Amino acid sequence: MSAFIFPGQGIQRKGMGKELFSHFPEQVRQADRILGYSIESLCLEDPEQQLNLTQYTQPAIYVVSYLSYLRTMEQYEAPNFFLGHSVGEYAALTAAGAIDFETGLRIVKRRSELMSEEDQGTLAAIVGLPRQELQLHLNDSHLNDLYIANINSTSQIVIGGKTNKVDAFLKYCRERSVKAVRLRVSGAFHTPEMQPAEQKFKAFLATCQFQQPITPVISNLTGKPHKLEDFATNLSQHLTHPVQWVKCVEYILHNNVYSFIEFGEPAILSPMIEDIKQHALKNQPALKAAKSSTHAQKADRSEPSPFVMPEQALNFCKAFRCRSPLLVSSLNGAAGTTLIASLAKHGTLSMLDGDHLSNSELENKLQTLNQQPDVINKYGIVLSSDLYKQTTQLELLKQYKISYIEVSASEPSHALTTYKSEHPTCKLLARIRSIQELENFYAIADAICLELSSANTQKEPSLSLFTQALAYKQGQSSDTPSPYIGISGMAGNPANIHSWLSSGADFVIAGSVFTLTEEAELNPQTKQQLSQVSYAEYCTQPDWLFPDLNSSSNCYVLNSKVKDLNRQLQRAYLDSDQGSLNTIKQLLNQAPLSVDPQLLENVIVTAPEQLSRTREQISQIIAQEIQPYLIPGDSSLALFNTWRQTEKHHTYSAISAGQLSDLLCPSINISSDSLEQETWN
């Protein structure tokens, strides 16, 4: 378990961010526009000697810290926790997805302006005294209006107040050989001296848009994870209340975090953390046990225990060269190149849906994806269920060297069997719905996914197929490699995913939940509607892919009227006579559908011998009208929405694909060198 740490004031240095500004020109332009001056010039040259002034210090630290985080994420895995000291808390909130970069900078700019207005005070660090002993000295000095501002470690505490009072206490400390150092700040931050700024800051924060952090961010005020509903209150109160750094670090230590990455040079927080860690290990047996056990219990029983990735899931990640046993598929039209590329860069294996694309459309998307070097060989393709189309797709995939293919069928086709024998390092994932289908694919597939996402079943699927599949695998000879066994559909929240993995699944597949991500190719209104759907809107509906075969799919219905209209349209279509065509005309004129009456008239008024052509045109019109209201997919979205509402999480209408992947199943800490480096042949 790991945590990323962002520093506060005191870290500012001329030359800070030298290696970052040219690497992130867009963020630099945004910062310059918001601040009204050149952030690069301030940090590298400081021509007006302003870098140590609060209204300039805080924005500079925020920008450099966040850019440093972005650069670090090009090489490191996402952490389990974020933590920032004072103004560093805003870089942590931005990194965790609670606010975007521009909003964070606007908040920090306003915060720094308000704090700089209260410039009648300062801070001093007292080193070597525990809090109780320091309080005795404060009482003994008879200096009123001095306050605890930062509890940085067991042996470093910061006090603050008006400058003359702090200077008097420094003199008191020198006379008693107590080590005390005045800090390079221009106000008594995190003390009641900031009361005027607190009220103004709270009013400003009320105008800002926050989201629930994807990764927990520990609050300086409470020492516990931030909650969406408390942002304005906690962040404003933090101006007048001390930084509870010891509580923050102890919280993540109780959550089995022992790896810390600090942004900024020199590392001023790491020594504090080490002091807190050693003190905690010495005095709290629960933490000693946590350090030595991968299944340690937390001291706070009200918090859930951290999930430990099972060994079989780790083995799957190594074999499939991905950083999470969570795969993303069943996305249909929402899986555009942006979403696939984003997940590939994050290390999450995802599948581009080829079943609903023409060969030319599929090739265009493959060209787009393979123009990005860090995406090549890191995504897969869902093959068409049409055997002729599947054969032509396999020929196309040779050209683009696709490393992963997914197929849903009762048995492997001849073309697929031939392709796999010619390209054994290409991983084949087969979706099956019965033990017979598992047996058909067992010898050829690298992974087998059990379909448990039927809209006709109850919310909790039967374990029968899953237990049968595990028993079948255990009964096979160990002389030949067995395919990995996973499940799809029922992977819509962290607890559910952890439960399947703990029960023996090697991997899980989620689909529809990723239609909420900012990269998904759906319009914002549809995403907003999807963020509210439940199992009540999840059902089997005619999909008009093969209308003459009465084909249907599991869908989320975004308008209740469409559910009945769609089934009535299908019945009328299958009747195949002139009377049924008139019925279709009447149905298509009902709300919320809005077909041009003249278009229908032109299509339906036709000679009987042209009925076949008319029916084809009618099916195309129906599909076009119905499509916006029916979103095909699995049950992961309904599960996610139910969990989100129960846990009081914010609507995830702007969450990134990588953030959602980590929320559902955090990426594992595994280096690229330890992953199998098979090449496509």
Residue 501, domain member (yes or no): yes
Residue 161's domain is classified under what CATH number? 3.30.70.250
Residue 227, domain member (yes or no): no
pLDDT at 16: 92
Asked if 357 and 486 sit in the same domain, the reply is yes
Let me know how long the chain is: 681
Residue 194, domain member (yes or no): no
Domain that holds residue 624: 537-632
For the cut 50, the answer to whether the pLDDT of residue 305 exceeds it is no
Does residue 86 have an active-site annotation?
Answer: yes
Phi-psi region of 17 (alpha: psi -120 to 50; beta: other; left: phi over 0): left
Confidence grade of residue 654 (pLDDT, cut at 50, 70, 90): low
Asked if 465 and 452 sit in the same domain, the reply is yes
Residue 65's domain is classified under what CATH number? 3.40.366.10
- Set 65, 68, 86, 330: catalytic member: 86
Q: How distant is the alpha carbon of residue 620 from its chain centre? A: 37
The amino acid present at 111, given as its one-letter code, is: R
Question: Tokens standing for 240?
Answer: 């007048």
CB atoms closer than 10 angstroms to residue 595 = 18
Asked if 269 and 358 sit in the same domain, the reply is no
Question: Tokens standing for 416?
Answer: 């697929």
Residues 533-552 have pLDDT tens digits of 887 788 888 888 778 777 88
Question: Among residues 136, 167, 185, which one ends one of the domains?
Answer: 185
- Set 137, 190, 279, 423: catalytic member: 190
Of the candidate ranges 124-138, 425-439, 588-602, the one whose mean pLDDT is the lowest: 588-602
Asked if 578 and 618 sit in the same domain, the reply is yes
Confidence grade of residue 294 (pLDDT, cut at 50, 70, 90): very low
Question: Tokens standing for 86?
Answer: 């004072």
CB atoms closer than 10 angstroms to residue 564 = 12
Q: Which letter does DSSP use for residue 481 in this model?
A: P
Asked if 451 and 585 sit in the same domain, the reply is no
Of the candidate ranges 385-389, 597-601, 653-657, the one whose mean pLDDT is the lowest: 597-601
Question: Does the predicted model carry a pTM greater than 0.75?
Answer: no
Residue 230, domain member (yes or no): no
Asked if 25 and 60 sit in the same domain, the reply is yes
pLDDT at 641: 85
Residues 205-214 have pLDDT tens digits of 999 989 888 8
Average pLDDT over the chain reads 83
Residues 567-584 have pLDDT tens digits of 888 888 887 666 677 788
Asked if 143 and 99 sit in the same domain, the reply is no
Asked if 354 and 371 sit in the same domain, the reply is yes
Rounded to whole angstroms, the Cα distance separating 142 from 138 reads 7
Residues 265-275 have pLDDT tens digits of 667 888 888 88
Question: Among residues 264, 292, 320, which one ends one of the domains?
Answer: 292
Between the alpha carbon of residue 39 and those of residues 46, 68, 313, 328, 342, the distances in Å are 9, 14, 45, 39, 29
Residue 679, domain member (yes or no): no
Does residue 190 have an active-site annotation?
Answer: yes
pLDDT at 574: 82
- The 3-class SS string of 78-110 reads CCCEEEECCCHHHHHHHHCCCCCHHHHHHHHHH
Residue 503, domain member (yes or no): yes
Asked if 285 and 320 sit in the same domain, the reply is no
Residue 204, domain member (yes or no): no
Asked if 165 and 267 sit in the same domain, the reply is no
Number of independent structural domains in the chain: 4
50 phi/psi in degrees, rounded to 5 = -110, -10
Higher pLDDT, 66 or 399: 66
pLDDT at 282: 58
pLDDT at 303: 39
